[in-house]
Structure 1
Amino acid sequence: MKILKWSLLVSLHLSLLSSFSFTGNGVGVNRDASKMSSVEEAVEANTTGATTSVNNQERTYPFTLPTGANNSSTDQSLHLIDLTKWGIHNDGTKPVETTAGINKALQWASKNGITATTLPPGTYLIDKNSRINMVSNMLFQLTSNVTLQKETNTKESYHLMHIGVHVTNVTLRGGIYKGDKDTHDYSKREFAYTPGTHEGGYGIITQGAHSVTIEAVTATHFIGDGLVISGHGSLISDIYEAELVSGEYDTQGKAIANKDKVRTSKAIRFDHKAFKTNRDFEISNIKNLPTTFDIYIFDKSKKLISKLPGKKNRETIQIPEGADYFHLVFQKASSKGSYLEVWNRVVSKNVVVKNSEFAHNRRQGITVAGADTVLIENNEIHHIKGTMPQSGIDLEGGYGENGQLNSRIVIKGNNFHNNESYDVILYDGKNAIVEDNRLGSRGKIGLAISPPFTGALVRNNHFDGSRILAYHDATFLNNRMNDSYTTFEGPNVTIDGLTMTDSTLTINSKQPFGVTASNVTITSINKSLPAGLSLWGKPIKLSNITISGESSLRTVAGGIEPGSIIDNLKVTDFNSTYGISLPAATYNNCEISGAAGAKTGSIGVAAASGGPYVFNNCKFKASSTAFDTIVADQVKLDLTIKNSSFELSGNTRAINVVAAKKFVFENNSINATGITSDKLEIVKLNDFWKRNEQHDILSAIIKGNTISSNLKAIGISTIYAGNGAPAYVIENNTIVNATLALKPNDQNLNNTVK
């Protein structure tokens, strides 16, 4: 399965087109800011990371956690905005006047040293063609009986509250931010090139802002997202092939000939207004040129002040002091069909979103689309439905499509439920932590990690009826799941600590040992539901896997390629009708037993690849009703069972080899205590009904085993191996209260029958 970008980037682009930026039923809970608790975890930050205390257990972070706005700078009595003075209406009328009045009041407060403002109770209708533009150094605190209502409209994109580029130290606390989803006219396109999906209407948007706290708010019923945390981009220059000429620059910054290289012919200057506040740039969207290049930076006197070799597409370049312009040099003889762009980008930084509710929006609860250091904590995000992706939170900046980068995002302690498609998507970016959340949109995807995302840490979450889909570069620690299943593909996926109830751990590794899993417990309680372990793809490494209970089908199955290593697998009470079908692997120290009931359930070793299968130091315990403990039936089968034990409490065979290329059974012990027929073969090679057919067990070694029976049954049987069967090695076995039934040509050596 591949997670698609849907039309998210399109709507983000439309929403912020003018600035070249890239960002796309009632509410059950109203949160009063005055009643909100503080964050309970004590955070100790340093320059390399952070450590928190959670239930007396230390929790470490690989980066400094964001703190949001500096409350001390806005720690003053709330200023009640005078509605009459500013022409503001709180009865849901006069949207143009109300919006303009709120903006004027905020600007006046900012200029007059007021850093904490509020509005009286009521409904404030926000102009469909405008928005509230937040100012820096401001606490905007509302009670739960204040609603900011977006005027119904026909637009494909809009904002209600905007926190713009370089706006800093803002707290939005309390209040209801409400969209026009229920009354919106979805029939019109704003422009001929727009998609017509009407998914770009946002409640709150940060666009390159810094140090922002959003707490105890409710953002609901927007045609797009309740909240967007995004970046701001300024296109400085776009360069076509006509602006590239043959040559390069020497160490003194002089243009010289070089037929194997091309350079920019026109200086790219640092005179754009964006550089006044953000002193860096990047080269991106390169076409028909190498993605690695050299940069030559000059001052106003045309003196070369810096050469930066080997820079790469989308790499952030700091502008040195005194720089006036720069040139680029590419290792390519021709500039035909070439194109590139120079951008100045600002992501939102140090943003905290907590104790809030995002609900009943059409596209997302929260989109992160260009941000660094964000904490989204203790929010309720639910009933997102209407247009894809329909996710509670989506980290998607379109970085691979010339958009913004997401990095160092923490999603912690949130309650997700009733979202139509996803709870959390990590689509693109790097270094996110998803922890302590309840992902409860049952039957949906609780967490999706897409190929463009790297460095996800997922720990201590409850997947309550929701699925996991993870491609690569992710670590899962101490999570739990019920009534669902996973898909892990890899590479670089680690699972350590996973408790599953009525759920299936599915691994489909795309690279050898690209997925490792350890300390997994899978319990089947509801016999009508599937549960267990399903392995596919390339070899993997598993350890300490415990599976218990009788699910509706096999609790272990799959078609993984040979070569996996599975240590300490414990399976108890598997389905007595269907048994289990073990994938080809090396099993060390396994313990496997079936549930009583039907007779046909057994341990199947019959992978299409034939193996090899190796069982070492394993314990097999058959149910009292089973015909067979292990059934081996594959003409290419390579099966070795060594140093293992079998406990047979019924009239049950230890192993029934129907077909195999190679079978080794060595140094095992079999204790049969419930045999009722003296015709039962405890170790059986082939079947009576196939005795006259061509043999299909090509090699067998049965050596050094001890077989004990309560009844004088047949300990080892090879007499039905079929026409032309080769000599099998039957050597140094001890048979207690049982007999041998061997072919005449078998190597019957040093066996003891007691």
Structure 2
Amino acid sequence: MMRYTLEVEKYGISGDITQADRTTEGFNRALLDAVEIGYPEIYIPRGIYYIDAVNKESALKPEEGAGIIVPGNITIIKHPQAEFRVVPNSSFGYSCFYIGEVENVTLRGGKIRGERYQHDFTGHGDFEKKETHEWGYGINVHGARNVVIEGVDIADCTGDCIMVNAQGMLNVSWTTYRPARNITIKNCKLDGARRNNISVTGGEDVKIENNEITNAGINDGCKPMFGIDIEGYGEGDIDYEEPRNVKITNNTFAGNVAQSVCNFSGYEVVIDGNHSDNSISYGYGTDTVIANNTLVRKDKKYTAITGLGVSAGFNGNNATITGNTIKGFSSGIDVRGADVTVSGNTITELSADGIALATFEAKNVQFSDNTVHHTTGKHCCARNSSDVTFENNKLNGSDITAIEIIDSDNVIADSNKIKRSKQGAVITRSFVKVINNDVDLTEYPSAVAYAIAFDKGSDVFIKDNRIPTPTNMAIYGESVEGRTVRIKDNDITDAKCLIPIYVIGGKKHEISGNDITFNRTASGGYGIQTKNTDGALIKENVVHSVSSFKLYSPIKTDESINSRVIGNKISGSLALNKTDIETNNIPI
């Protein structure tokens, strides 16, 4: 392949800051000449080159058509010590390298330095909305196709190190939309941009891989201050720009002020295999995969993986969060929006007041096969949410509770393994099914609370749970008329407490098929007790002591009315109210 080594003297290219206009013009003439002659590659030797990166002929968009304007069908290879410095200016926008509506461009190697620390932020003319000066770019990919940016070291831009955006706008009649397509950013060092290190606003088929992305937004930066921001422009449910099919893989993120990656509003975004010290978010994005990332902090701040909600005009996020390792954050995974699957993640060493797996104002969320350990805060929490499932998670060591459900509807806790926690599951003002869980609190080093508890505002179905050696109530709840309580087929073994199942208040509850064994070191205890209930059905339970100490009573309903105590297998005498119906109970 023919390569042309740029002749800096021939084109009047200088290393003098006072010659920036001439240097910029020289680069532009040299690139056009190389393409015209037919050189597919141009090599830029080492040197410091000052670039006039502002298009002074465009008052509204000085970042467009600015700086070094890269033609199509060219590969630009820069010496590792070829450094392009943006001349300090007062413009709200600039581009050191501008890649407009061209095709087949590669930029490889070299350094680009913005001028954010020398920038004059006082000037913006009549454009009040531009006063933030956040449109200064190292490389501006604007409606181009087939672009590779490889091994470039970019830092200190007033806006972004790299911008990937579209020409024109979607869904309007007066312009044609031409997104940047097939863009690859790899093996680059991107540091200290004042806003984001990379923004993708109007790009399709964008690959961002094996880069070091650091310190976006430091030193009084400009929002949003993300390592990578995937964010199109729209109003309501109308998109004017769309980021689509963006793959972010095997990058290292460190020191970015707000988040490492945010898919604020993109489509088909994959964030896979990255190392991060800050949050990754699916935002309002649609069809996002966050997989196999390692997220580690040392200060127990921030939430590792987050979301914001559902984009206007859509039913759900369709987000998948899987196989991530999270350590040392405040909280683990916080789900907002709808249609989100969270599976196979490992979460450890969070702050004492953090939550490992959480929803807020979310719908149709599945948490399955996750592991939480060495975390003393809450492990699972659904708040103001509906259609949420916690299934087959391993939850070990909470000082608060393993599962908390508040103000939520149709929540299922199924087949979770809870160990060494102060409390198992707490249900408040919610409709919840607690099914087939192992709630083993025996190894908790101090006094425990309840294995499963619910309040007066809840409807509960508690079935097939295994609760070994409870020292406090295994299942406790309060209820009122109109609420449903069904406690069925739970296995409570070697109880040390006085009352394994205790329900206060409400009507027509069902407590059936439970197997309760006592192994106390003193006489006393009631296997099942109700208080102030009306019409409870207590049937086919097994209650007995495996030690030599007797119970006060296996079933106590004398403080309730109209209980139906039927077909239970019991050791000891029933304590019934005169309004109760008692039949077919079998002493053992």
Superposed pair shares fold, TM > 0.5:
yes
Distance in 2 (alpha carbons) for counterparts of 1:556 and 1:683: 24
Distance in 1 (alpha carbons) for counterparts of 2:171 and 2:477: 60
Q: Residues 374-523 of structure 1 correspond to what in structure 2 (within 5 A)? A: 374-385=206-217, 386-400=221-235, 403-441=240-278, 445-450=279-284, 453-465=285-297, 466-471=304-309, 472-482=317-327, 483=329, 484-501=331-348, 502=350, 503-511=355-363, 514-523=364-373
Residue 701 of structure 1: aligned partner = 537
| Cα distance change, pair 210–98 in 1 and its aligned pair in 2 (3 A) | same
Distance in 2 (alpha carbons) for counterparts of 1:581 and 1:378: 44
Residue 616 of structure 1: aligned partner = 463
Distance in 1 (alpha carbons) for counterparts of 2:342 and 2:155: 36
Distance in 2 (alpha carbons) for counterparts of 1:399 and 1:215: 31
- Runs of 4 or more above 4 Å deviation: none
- Identify the match of residue 552 of structure 2 among 714, 720, 734: 714
Following superposition, the deviation at residue 203 of structure 1 comes to 0.5
- SS of the equivalent of 1:467 reads strand
Distance in 1 (alpha carbons) for counterparts of 2:209 and 2:33: 32
Residue 655 of structure 1: aligned partner = 501
Following superposition, the deviation at residue 106 of structure 1 comes to 0.9
Residue 59 of structure 2: aligned partner = none
Structure 2 residue 40 is matched with structure 1 residue 115: yes
The answer to which of 581-590 and 367-376 deviates more is 581-590
Distance in 2 (alpha carbons) for counterparts of 1:85 and 1:200: 32
AA at the equivalent of 1:132: I
Q: Residues 564-575 of structure 1 correspond to what in structure 2 (within 5 A)? A: 564-575=411-422
- Identify the match of residue 629 of structure 1 among 446, 464, 474: 474
| Cα distance change, pair 640–141 in 1 and its aligned pair in 2 (3 A) | same
Q: Residue 272 of structure 2 contacts residue 290 of structure 2 at CA under 8 Å; is this kept in 1? A: yes
Following superposition, the deviation at residue 138 of structure 1 comes to 1.3
Q: Residue 230 of structure 1 contacts residue 370 of structure 1 at CA under 8 Å; is this kept in 2? A: yes
Q: Which has the larger radius of gyration?
A: 1
| Cα distance change, pair 188–579 in 1 and its aligned pair in 2 (3 A) | same
Residue 146 of structure 1: aligned partner = 82
- SS of the equivalent of 2:367 reads strand
Distance in 1 (alpha carbons) for counterparts of 2:556 and 2:77: 84
Residue 176 of structure 2: aligned partner = 344
TM-superposition CA deviations, 1:66-121 (whole Å, max 9, x none):
xxxxxxxxxx2542211111111236552112111111111111111112112222
Distance in 2 (alpha carbons) for counterparts of 1:494 and 1:467: 13
Q: Residue 399 of structure 2 contacts residue 421 of structure 2 at CA under 8 Å; is this kept in 1? A: no
Q: Residue 539 of structure 1 contacts residue 560 of structure 1 at CA under 8 Å; is this kept in 2? A: no
Distance in 1 (alpha carbons) for counterparts of 2:398 and 2:489: 30
Distance in 1 (alpha carbons) for counterparts of 2:586 and 2:472: 26
Residue 153 of structure 2: aligned partner = 218
Following superposition, the deviation at residue 382 of structure 1 comes to 1.5
AA at the equivalent of 1:601: A
Q: Residue 138 of structure 2 contacts residue 160 of structure 2 at CA under 8 Å; is this kept in 1? A: yes
AA at the equivalent of 2:110: G
AA at the equivalent of 2:91: K
Distance in 1 (alpha carbons) for counterparts of 2:307 and 2:249: 19
| Cα distance change, pair 144–714 in 1 and its aligned pair in 2 (3 A) | farther
Superposition CA RMSD, Å = 2.3
Q: Residues 663-742 of structure 1 correspond to what in structure 2 (within 5 A)? A: 663-673=509-519, 675-686=520-531, 695=532, 697-709=533-545, 710=547, 711-718=549-556, 721=559, 725-736=560-571, 738-742=572-576
- SS of the equivalent of 2:25 reads helix
TM-score normalised to the size of structure 1? 0.69
AA at the equivalent of 1:731: I
- SS of the equivalent of 2:457 reads coil
Q: Residues 61-80 of structure 1 correspond to what in structure 2 (within 5 A)? A: 76=1, 78-80=3-5
AA at the equivalent of 1:104: R
- SS of the equivalent of 1:490 reads strand
Following superposition, the deviation at residue 532 of structure 1 comes to 0.5
Following superposition, the deviation at residue 661 of structure 1 comes to 3.1
Following superposition, the deviation at residue 634 of structure 1 comes to 3.0
AA at the equivalent of 1:157: G
Distance in 2 (alpha carbons) for counterparts of 1:158 and 1:698: 76
Q: Residues 546-625 of structure 1 correspond to what in structure 2 (within 5 A)? A: 546-575=393-422, 580-582=425-427, 584-594=431-441, 595-611=443-459, 613-623=460-470
- SS of the equivalent of 2:24 reads helix
Q: Residue 472 of structure 2 contacts residue 500 of structure 2 at CA under 8 Å; is this kept in 1? A: no
Q: Residue 470 of structure 1 contacts residue 487 of structure 1 at CA under 8 Å; is this kept in 2? A: no
Q: Which residues of structure 2 form unaligned runs of 5+?
A: 55-65, 298-303, 310-316
Q: Residue 544 of structure 1 contacts residue 569 of structure 1 at CA under 8 Å; is this kept in 2? A: yes
Following superposition, the deviation at residue 538 of structure 1 comes to 3.9
TM-superposition CA deviations, 1:151-177 (whole Å, max 9, x none):
111111111000011x11111111111
Distance in 2 (alpha carbons) for counterparts of 1:698 and 1:417: 61
Following superposition, the deviation at residue 555 of structure 1 comes to 2.1
Following superposition, the deviation at residue 730 of structure 1 comes to 1.6
Q: Which residues of structure 1 form unaligned runs of 5+?
A: 1-75, 235-281, 285-340, 687-694
Q: Residues 88-487 of structure 1 correspond to what in structure 2 (within 5 A)? A: 88-90=13-15, 94-129=19-54, 130-165=66-101, 167-233=102-168, 284=172, 341-385=173-217, 386-400=221-235, 403-441=240-278, 445-450=279-284, 453-465=285-297, 466-471=304-309, 472-482=317-327, 483=329, 484-487=331-334
Distance in 1 (alpha carbons) for counterparts of 2:271 and 2:342: 14
The answer to which of 389-398 and 457-466 deviates more is 457-466
| Cα distance change, pair 597–730 in 1 and its aligned pair in 2 (3 A) | farther
Q: Residue 161 of structure 1 contacts residue 203 of structure 1 at CA under 8 Å; is this kept in 2? A: yes
Following superposition, the deviation at residue 220 of structure 1 comes to 0.8
AA at the equivalent of 1:505: L
The answer to which of 497-506 and 132-141 deviates more is 497-506
Q: May I ask how many residue pairs the two structures share in their alignment?
A: 546
| Cα distance change, pair 497–522 in 1 and its aligned pair in 2 (3 A) | same
Following superposition, the deviation at residue 671 of structure 1 comes to 2.0
TM-superposition CA deviations, 1:361-409 (whole Å, max 9, x none):
1110111111111111111111111010111111122044763222111
- Identify the match of residue 537 of structure 1 among 371, 384, 393: 384
AA at the equivalent of 1:732: G
AA at the equivalent of 1:142: K
AA at the equivalent of 2:117: D
- SS of the equivalent of 1:367 reads strand
- SS of the equivalent of 2:71 reads coil
Following superposition, the deviation at residue 719 of structure 1 comes to 5.2
TM-superposition CA deviations, 1:654-711 (whole Å, max 9, x none):
11223333432211211222x133232232223xxxxxxxx3x223222111122112
Q: Residue 509 of structure 1 contacts residue 540 of structure 1 at CA under 8 Å; is this kept in 2? A: no
Following superposition, the deviation at residue 144 of structure 1 comes to 2.5
AA at the equivalent of 1:425: C
Following superposition, the deviation at residue 410 of structure 1 comes to 1.1
**Higher relative contact order structure (alpha carbons within 8 Å, sequence separation ≥ 6):** 1
| Cα distance change, pair 708–468 in 1 and its aligned pair in 2 (3 A) | same
Following superposition, the deviation at residue 494 of structure 1 comes to 2.5
Distance in 1 (alpha carbons) for counterparts of 2:188 and 2:87: 23
